Amino acid sequence: MATYLEFIQQNEDQDGVRFSWNVWPSSRLEATRMVVPLACLLTPLKERLDLPPVQYEPVLCSRPTCKAILNPLCQVDFRAKLWACNFCFQRNQFPPAYTGITEVNQPAELMPQFSTIEYMIQRGAQSPLIFLYVVDTCLEEDDLQALKESLQMSLSLLPPDALVGLITFGRMVQVHELSCEGISKSYVFRGTKDLTAKQIQDMLGLSKPAMPMQQARSAQPQEHPFVSSRFLQPVHKIDMNLTDLLGELQRDPWPVTQGKRPLRSTGVALSIAVGLLEGTFPNTGARIMLFTGGPPTQGPGMVVGDELKTPIRSWHDIEKDNARFMKKATKHYEMLANRTAANGHCIDIYACALDQTGLLEMKCCTNVTGGHMVMGDSFNTSLFKQTFQRIFSKDFNGNFRMAFGATLEVKTSRELKIAGTIGPCVSLNVKGPCVSENELGVGGTSQWKICGLDPTTTLGIYFEVVNQHNAPIPQGGRGAIQFVTQYQHSSTQRRIRVTTIARNWADAQSQLKHIEAAFDQEAAAVLMARLGVFRAESEEGPDVLRWLDRQLIRLCQKFGQYNKEDSTSFRLSDSFSLYPQFMFHLRRSPFLQVFNNSPDESSYYRHHFARQDLTQSLIMIQPILYAYSFHGPPEPVLLDSGSILADRILLMDTFFQIVIYLGETIAQWRKAGYQDMPEYENFKHLLQAPLDDAQEILQARFPMPRYINTEHGGSQARFLLSKVNPSQTHNNLYAWGQETGAPILTDDVSLQVFMDHLKKLAVSSAS
């Protein structure tokens, strides 16, 4: 373990955990002075090739309030067959099955390399996965066609025993019955009327207490699956039916007059989908997949009226409190989201339209339940098609990269408490001794529910050090945290993944260097960013920026080395050096800046930011820029306007977009057709290289990024220009040399200016 970097990397690989601090300040006071909270990014289901699940159940601490799971950090008395819980210090007897253990014959969970271990639970009925398609039919013909094809294709990707259901909606909502022969049957609901779950189940005939004749007989226990099977059927049984049904799916037939939007009952459709699953399959893994091609225009959850002359709300309207449907719609979808989460189901939203589709209002559906949110221009684009396909991608074991109905439980040693999480989860409101009263993110609980998650789903978990300043550092000097994730694997087994980690305590006064060195600035940046974005959801943008700035300044004051009032003397150590730059780009990112983004886009970006892992999150904060030129091999370059050179090809990855930008000269060469000349084959290769790299990224990423191929002067070049640090602008163009770069026409401050100000403020004694 040579460096902290390696340690961090190893930890991430093994446990899927990255802490902002890898050595912990030993008291509450010191911890607060550290500015960046003690927190971690946890990827609960991180794919690990070397982690075969064990086939037995975990051993729990017998103290009812603790119930921590036996882990490598526990002290074990092999002779007495006892183990001491490292969280509550309860001494526990090993269960009978463990009688044979000795120092040399240890179960896996006691081995240090199994700090993360997965148990397979055999008990409990396994229920098949459920996929409920909720399909908007108010689409253009070719869009609908494309969507139908995608859906039909998806049937072949589903596990054969998975249950599928279909709800279509437009002006009305239709729940299709899949079990029938001959006549295809559907239940139709008015799109304007909100129905309670009970009503929906009544109307679908799901809550029938058995028919009169059957009442006489003894109630049949098999009743339950039988009833629901009308709407949810195993794929292998009805894929032909469903394919036909999808094939016959027509555009919403109700006429849409000139100047009107089609009436789209998304709110009711979702409500019915939720109600259907709620009544039939509570607490089993289920995905509601909503495909919509426009904003909800009627009924509960409507986002905009059907008059085209009134545009859908913009940030401007929202600020002016002029979005008349927003609050009500948001409330509707929040209510749905919470119900869905309570049932352990998740909602995906696939919104493909050129205008907004109401993601702002609907975001909670995905954010709370852990569903996917995909935004595109049309269902007839590869962006949607491939993204959708990727949902059903499989891991090396042939299992879907999805899991359902997870609960994440966090246990801490006594010196720590849990402040909250930020991520696609919902609180289970489980209070306990290790729950802090101060909330960061979703707090007040030690357990969260993540209804849908995949191997990259990452939560930010925030802690609070509660050890009093004068209290001694605990015995053993290590603080421990245990993450217990129970979930339904895509193979429908229930599994429990347990990650137990420990970190050293350090006294901030005497051992500040240790703490400083163990700072993980990448994790810290992402964790701070999550806090910022979380705040931005509820607060005004400028307030959040100000808060971020203050935190940054305080951090610099705490860890910078400088002479008072001398900004030139300011230095940061290596472990902090990139942090201000992350913050600079974060300030400019679409997560915090709503300018130029629609509310839907902001919601979309924030959604992904709150669930991607560290690497991806960092890309989102600070896009990666690669340069390709004849001067050398492809290299990462600064995200700076100075990197834009005429003889370079740039490849920018912002997570959401992949931009290939040909410098001026390159573009001219290409236009001249050099790449087609045999003697300039190297130029052809040069042009090809970024394309290949881009393809690689495109292949791997979910959701598939927008792919932009542009050149100097192209209109699409704005995607690049808006991201790079505007070191050269029309204001300072002549002050800087002429030889490099492209000026950006912006009034935004550049990184240099930002840093100057930061230094000035950091060294100032006033603040």
Partner 1 sequence: MQISGAAAPAPPQTGLDYGPPTSGSFPNSGLYGSYPQGQAPPLNLAQGHPGTQPSQRSAPPQASSFTSPASGGPRMPSMTGPLLPGQGFGGPPVSQPNHVSSTPPQALPPGTQMTGPPGPPPSVHPSQAGYQLQQNGSFGPVRGPQPNYGSPYPGAPTFGSQPGPPQSLPPKRLDPDAIPSPQLNELPPQQKTRHRIDPDAIPSPIQVIEDDRNNRGSEPFVTDVRGQVPPLVTTNFLVKDQGNASPRYIRCTSYNIPCTSDVAKQAQVPLAAVIKPLARLPPEEASPYVVDHGESGPLRCNRCKAYMCPFMQFIEGGRRFQCCFCSCINDVPPQYFQHLDHTGRRVDAYDRPELSLGSYEFLATVDYCKNNKFPSPPAFIFMIDVSYNAIRSGLVRLLCEELKSLLDFLPREGGAEESAIRVGFVTYNKVLHFYNVKSSLAQPQMMVVSDVADMFVPLLDGFLVNVSESRTVITSLLDQIPEMFADTRETETVFAPVIQAGMEALKAAECAGKLFLFHTSLPIAEAPGKLKNRDDRKLINTDKEKTLFQAQTGAYQTLAKECVAQGCCVALFLFPNQYVDVATLSVVPQLTGGSVYKYACFQVENDQERFLSDLCRDVQKVVGFDAVMRVRTSTGIRAVDFFGAFYMSNTTDVELAGLDVDKTVTVEFKHDDRLNEESGALLQCALLYTSCAGQRRLRIHNLALNCCTQLADLYRNCETDTLINYMAKFAYRGVLNSPVKTVRDTLITQCAQILACYRKNCASPSSAGQLILPECMKLLPVYLNCVLKSDVLQPGAEVTTDDRAYVRQLVTSMDVAETNVFFYPRLLPLTKSPIENTTEPPAVRASEERLSNGDIYLLENGLNLFLWVGASVQQGVVQSLFNVSSFSHITSGLSVLPVLDNPLSKKVRGLIDSLRAQRSRYMKLIVVKQEDKLEMLFKHFLVEDKSLSGGASYVDFLCHMHKEIRQLLS
Beta carbon nearer to partner 1, 252 or 361 = 252
In whole angstroms, what is the distance from residue 751 CA to residue 746 CA? 13
Beta carbon nearer to partner 1, 166 or 326 = 166
Return the structure tokens found at 301. Answer: 């959850």
Q: How far is the CB of 225 from partner 1 (least distance, A)?
A: 19
Q: How far is the CB of 219 from partner 1 (least distance, A)?
A: 15
| SS3 assignment, position 522 | helix
Number of other CB atoms surrounding residue 333 within 10 Å? 30
Q: Quick one: which of 589, 472, 583, 587 has its CA closest to 36? A: 583
Number of other CB atoms surrounding residue 253 within 10 Å? 9
In whole angstroms, what is the distance from residue 330 CA to residue 303 CA? 9
Q: Quick one: which of 20, 262, 299, 268 has its CA closest to 143? A: 262
Q: Quick one: which of 485, 483, 439 has its CA closest to 462? A: 439
Beta carbon nearer to partner 1, 96 or 255 = 255
DSSP string, 460-496: EEEEEE---TTSPPPGGGEEEEEEEEEEE-TTS-EEE
Residues 641/727, Cβ–Cβ less than 8 Å: yes
Q: How far is the CB of 282 from partner 1 (least distance, A)?
A: 21
Residues 748/726, Cβ–Cβ less than 8 Å: yes
Q: Quick one: which of 302, 220, 227, 242 has its CA closest to 267? A: 302
Beta carbon nearer to partner 1, 96 or 182 = 182
Beta carbon nearer to partner 1, 263 or 662 = 263
Q: How far is the CB of 204 from partner 1 (least distance, A)?
A: 7
Q: How far is the CB of 373 from partner 1 (least distance, A)?
A: 30
Beta carbon nearer to partner 1, 208 or 431 = 208
Residues 434/391, Cβ–Cβ less than 8 Å: no
For binding to partner 1 (CB under 8 A), which residues are involved? 172, 174, 177, 180, 182-190, 193, 195, 202-205, 211-214, 248, 250, 253-255
Q: How far is the CB of 256 from partner 1 (least distance, A)?
A: 12
Q: How far is the CB of 189 from partner 1 (least distance, A)?
A: 6
Q: How far is the CB of 240 from partner 1 (least distance, A)?
A: 13
Beta carbon nearer to partner 1, 255 or 678 = 255
In whole angstroms, what is the distance from residue 325 CA to residue 310 CA? 12
Q: How far is the CB of 325 from partner 1 (least distance, A)?
A: 22
Tokens 């701070």 belong to which residue?
Answer: 528
Q: How far is the CB of 242 from partner 1 (least distance, A)?
A: 14
Q: How far is the CB of 185 from partner 1 (least distance, A)?
A: 4
Beta carbon nearer to partner 1, 275 or 420 = 275
Beta carbon nearer to partner 1, 254 or 630 = 254
Return the structure tokens found at 31. Answer: 């911890």
Q: Quick one: which of 745, 353, 366, 758 has its CA closest to 562? A: 758
List the Cα angle 47/51/52 in 5-degree steps: 115
> CB-based burial of residue 579 (10 Å sphere; 0-12 exposed, 13-18 middle, 19+ buried)?
buried
Beta carbon nearer to partner 1, 268 or 484 = 268
Beta carbon nearer to partner 1, 187 or 384 = 187
Beta carbon nearer to partner 1, 195 or 326 = 195
| SS3 assignment, position 17 | strand
DSSP string, 244-299: HHHHH-----S---TTBPPP--HHHHHHHHHHHHHHH-TTS-EEEEEEESS---SS
Number of other CB atoms surrounding residue 351 within 10 Å? 25
Q: How far is the CB of 236 from partner 1 (least distance, A)?
A: 22
- Which residues on neighbouring strands pair with residue 133, listed in sequence order? 166, 289
